[in-house]
Amino acid sequence: MRDALGGIQSVLVLGGNSDIALATLKELAKERTRTAILAGRDLAKLDQAAEVLRDAGFTAVETVEFDAAATDTHEQIIDDIWAKHPDLDLALVAFGVLGTQVEFDEDPAKAAQAAIINYAGGVSSGLAVAKHLKAQGHGTLAVITSVAGERARADNFVYGSTKAGLDAFTQGLADRLVGSGANVMAIRPGFVRTSMTADMSDGPMATTADAVAKDIVAGLKSGAHTVWSPAKLRFVFAILKTLPRPIWRKVAAGR
Would you name the residues annotated as active-site residues?
159
Give every CB contact of residue 111 below 8 A, 6+ residues apart in sequence: 99, 103, 104, 158
Categorise residue 96: left if φ over 0, alpha if ψ from -120 to 50, beta otherwise: left
* CA dihedral of 158, 162, 167, 173, whole degrees rounded to 10: 160
Q: How far apart are CA 87 and CA 107, in angstroms?
A: 43
Q: How far apart are CA 47 and CA 221, in angstroms?
A: 28
Q: How far apart are CA 14 and CA 223, in angstroms?
A: 21
